[in-house]
Amino acid sequence: MNTLPEKGMSQAAISDALDAFVKDDIDWQSGRSPLYVFGTDPQAHEVGRDAFFRFYSENALGANRAFPSVKAMQEDVLKKCGALLNAPTSDGGVFTSGGTESIFLATRAARDEGRARKGIGKGGGNIVVPFTAHPAFRKAAESLDIEERRIAVDESGRADPRQMQDAIDDDTLMLAGSAPCFPYGVIDPITELGELAQRFNIWLHVDACVGGYLAPFVRDIGYPVPPFDMGVAGVASLSADLHKYGYCPKPASTLFFSSSKRADRASFKFNEWPCGSFRTPTLVGTRPAGGVAGAWAVLHHLGMQGYRDIATRVMAMRDQYVADIETVPGFGVFGHPDLAIIAFTNAQSNVFQIAALMRERGWLPGLTQEPPALHIMLSLLHETCREQYIEDLRWSTAEVAKNQAAGKAGAKAKVQY
Ligand SMILES: *Cc1c(COP(=O)(O)O)cnc(C)c1O
């Protein structure tokens, strides 16, 4: 049927229909998805959900004019999260809908500052990012009419400041590093990138989307974490997603700047339409107030100790996954992941064939193409399924080895995010 039903469906019928839709979804609750959903303890989940739905109808676009509640929660979240990431108090930060929007706004501000300072016209300028940078940088660059230069990383998987330096020219508007990068989970040398940024007077963005709300606590509990935040000299902006390791409901990300002048560049101002002055700090207009309330609630419910406790569990789990994976023939973890993202290669068997078998066993396989590797972003959802995962990985690997020895090709999983 191509039109809506003439007579609306009852709430009960809708509920049944929704249950039917979910039927074929990946069973993320059981840890079957290596990304997309981040698990926290069930109570924190409920607290976030309740707060989200209490502000189901309010619109965060109207935070300043209509909803002082949303404005207050948003400011409070940004102040406390900014302090956690050593952002200067002069800049309030921006609450956005996700990493992609945060990166877009930072890139636009860097472009406008750089073009103005260097006298570069429309369509000019470039940004220099490591090969491992998130596709959001390319999306931003393409949309903002800037060239994006992707530079090879070193053998540890980290950005190589010397090669990045070679790619800088008079038209370079921004450098970026990740903390950590999504593919390998390693933190780029932000201090060295900061030195480069200062030497050449270029904006440096730190993409801490995935690590921003995990790394400070991992450091607190005693793991070595290199400097990566707004406290590093030369960093102009930083993105950190609350809807990842902040365990807050989607959509929720934060963006911080080194000065209020830079923050001001990121905000959109307009007055040439019938209604008069229009100003938004975000790219999107209407946005869910539930995201703001949910973030406020989860952050305050967990508190510093809650985040430290979760970080302790996540890192212990990571260590256990690494140890277990390395008992499966041929597997080794790529590089030395700083946080809870791991990529693991196999020296003997085709990992894309292993991934296809894992898929048949109900696991959504995370993959990287260079090097060919399986990939997981661990959260508490992956705690209880570890033994089953390893068992299935062992079985799939043995199966592929058997097929390879018999000269059979076997199905391959495609890398598609
Ligand atoms: C998730 C992620 C992004 C993009 O964030 P979205 O919230 O999906 O838009 C950017 N960078 C890194 C490193 C990420 O892990």
Distance CA 319, CA 325 (A): 10
**Whether residue 207 has its Cβ less than 6 Å from ligand 1:** yes
Closest ligand 1 atom to Cα of 97: 7
Q: Is the CB–ligand 1 distance for residue 241 below 6 Å?
A: yes
- Distance, CA 348 to ligand 1 centroid (Å)? 32
Distance of CA 248 from the midpoint of ligand 1 (Å): 14
As a whole number of angstroms, the distance between CA 204 and CA 236 comes to: 5
The helix or strand, by DSSP H or E, that contains position 403, with its residue range, turns out to be helix 386-405
Question: ω before 180 within 30° of 0 (cis)?
Answer: yes
For 19, phi and psi rounded to 5 degrees?
Answer: -60, -40
Q: What is the pLDDT of residue 320?
A: 98
Pairing type for strands 237-241 and 203-207 reads parallel
DSSP state of 153: B
Q: What angle do CA 105, 111, 113 make, to 5 degrees?
A: 105
pLDDT in tens, 242-273: 999 999 999 999 999 999 999 999 999 999 99
291 C-alpha to ligand 1 centroid (Å):
16
Q: Is this structure's pTM higher than 0.75?
A: yes
> In which residue are the tokens 């609350």 written?
242
The DSSP H or E segment spanning 319 is helix 289-325
Which atom of ligand 1 is nearest the CA belonging to 208? Answer: 13
Q: Which atom of ligand 1 lies nearest, measured to the CA of 250?
A: 7
Q: Which atom of ligand 1 is nearest to the CA of 178?
A: 13
Are 170 and 128 in contact by the 8 Å Cβ rule? The answer is no
* Cis before 249? omega within 30: no
* pLDDT given for residue 219 in this prediction: 98
Single-letter residue type at 243: H
**Residue to substitute in 158, 210, 375 for testing ligand 1 pocket (most ligand atoms within 8 angstroms of CB):** 210
Q: And the tokens for 161?
A: 């400041």
Q: Tell the residue number behind the tokens 């979240």, with chain if given.
A: 77
Domain boundaries, given as residue ranges, for the chain: 46-300, 304-404
Number of Cα atoms under 13 Å in the Cβ half of residue 161: 15
Name the closest-CA residue to atom 3, ligand 1.
99
Give the per-residue pLDDT at 2: 87
Residue nearest to atom 10 of ligand 1 (CA): 99
Tens-place pLDDT, residues 349-378:
999 999 999 999 999 999 999 999 999 999
Residue ranges of the chain whose pLDDT lies below 50: none
- Give 45-68 as a DSSP string: HHHHHHHHHHTSS-BGGGTTTT-H
Is the shortest distance between the CB of 253 and ligand 1 below 6 Å? yes
- Please tell me the distance between residue 5's alpha carbon and the centre of ligand 1 in angstroms: 38
Quote the DSSP letter at residue 382: G
Residue 157: the pLDDT is 98
For domain 304-404, the CATH class is: alpha beta
In angstroms, rounded to a whole number, what is the distance separating the alpha carbons of residues 133 and 159? Answer: 9
Top CATH class, 46-300: alpha beta
Burial 177-208 (b: 16+ CB within 10 A, else e): bbbbbbbbbbbbbbbbbbbbbeebebbbbbbb
The answer to whether the beta carbons of residues 181 and 154 sit under 8 Å apart is no
CA distances to 32, 39, 210, 326, 359 from 365, rounded to whole Å, are: 9, 18, 19, 18, 6
